[in-house]
């Protein structure tokens, strides 16, 4: 059995604060035909690149996180949660005009989600300054075995910065894995491994993904167009498909379970 030791991994990506408002629904609201949630508790958890980092640490890896957050009411909470999870906030840069990404989920009995409310600036109208991130990468990236880019399209990873990260890593001979979100293939050109889900694969390739043959074809197309060594497509309950530029390498079946909440499934898969 092949045993892989701990690796030094640099994660660059969008962090998200997940907040769950939990309670019970026993009646319909008299004000509108909607369920009335009787509040019981609020739970906070790390999402996005922070969740990916947490999963990697749990797997015994030595991980450093680089990201941005807003100088807002969520900043201190998020930094405290990172540190409590064993993640240094040293390379978490804050911007006054950036809005920290927060997802509120309202849940009833059996963890049934009723509503999600997103807090973010959809246009990401803040003054960008990639200098701290790029300067940091040029300084420290040589100390790492692997770089993972966790792209949630929340304002950090535009095409220019993503390509700059890939080029810096290539100059040091460091492999890059990207959890993709954008709809433009050129943003991810030159990465070693791309990991889309079915929706992301369809958006990126403009191809149908309704059955396993179409999924393999679209994954293969993405692999060739992006210049990636591999594309690993997660297919929900249908498992995962791994291809290289020459075709299918492996189809990985899944074990079916009943899950009310699939939040963070992509982060777990890439970890």
Which of 267, 270, 271, 200 is CA-nearest to residue 15?
A: 267
For the chain, helix (H) and strand (E) counts, in that order, are 7, 13
Which of 259, 263, 243, 260 is CA-nearest to residue 251?
A: 243
Would you call 18 a catalytic residue per the annotation?
A: no
DSSP, collapsed to helix, strand or coil, labels residue 14 as coil
Q: What is the phi/psi pair of residue 74, to 5°?
A: -90, -15
**Residue 247 region by backbone torsions, left for phi larger than 0, else alpha for psi between -120 and 50, else beta:** left
Torsion of CA 14, 223, 177, 71, to 10 degrees: -10
Instruction: For the beta carbon of residue 72, count every other beta carbon within 10 angstroms.
Output: 17
State the alpha helices, DSSP H only, in 194-261.
198-205, 212-226
Q: What is the phi/psi pair of residue 15, to 5°?
A: -95, 145
| From 14, 89, 179, 267, active-site residue | 267
Q: Which helix (DSSP H) or strand (DSSP E) does residue 54 occupy?
A: helix 49-58
Which of 195, 198, 200 is CA-nearest to residue 182?
A: 200
Positions marked active-site? 267
């Amino acid at each position: 059995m092949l045993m892989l030791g701990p690796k030094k991994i640099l994660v660059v990506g969008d962090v998200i604060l997940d907040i769950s408002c939990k309670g019970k629904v026993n009646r319909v609201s008299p004000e509108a035909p909607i369920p009335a949630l009787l509040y019981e508790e609020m739970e906070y958890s790390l999402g996005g690149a922070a969740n990916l980092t947490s999963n990697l640490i749990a797997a015994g890896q030595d991980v450093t996180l680089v990201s941005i957050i807003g100088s807002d009411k969520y900043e201190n909470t998020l930094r405290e949660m990172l540190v409590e999870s064993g993640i240094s906030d040293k390379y978490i840069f804050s911007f006054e005009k950036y809005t920290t990404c927060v997802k509120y989920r309202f849940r009833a009995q059996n963890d049934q989600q009723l509503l999600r409310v997103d807090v973010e600036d959809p246009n990401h109208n803040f003054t960008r300054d990639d200098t701290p991130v790029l300067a940091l990468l040029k300084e420290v990236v040589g100390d790492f075995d692997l770089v993972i880019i966790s792209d949630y399209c929340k304002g950090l990873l535009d095409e220019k910065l993503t390509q700059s990260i890939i080029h810096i890593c290539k100059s040091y001979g460091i492999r890059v894995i990207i959890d993709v979100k954008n709809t433009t293939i050129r943003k991810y050109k030159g990465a070693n491994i791309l990991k889309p889900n079915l929706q992301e694969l369809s958006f990126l390739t403009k191809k149908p993904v309704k059955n396993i043959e179409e999924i393999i074809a679209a994954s293969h197309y993405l692999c060739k167009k992006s210049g990636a060594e591999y594309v690993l497509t997660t297919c929900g309950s249908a498992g995962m498909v791994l291809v290289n530029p020459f075709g299918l390498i492996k189809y990985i079946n899944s074990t079916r379970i009943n899950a009310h909440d699939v939040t963070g499934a992509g982060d777990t898969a890439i970890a």
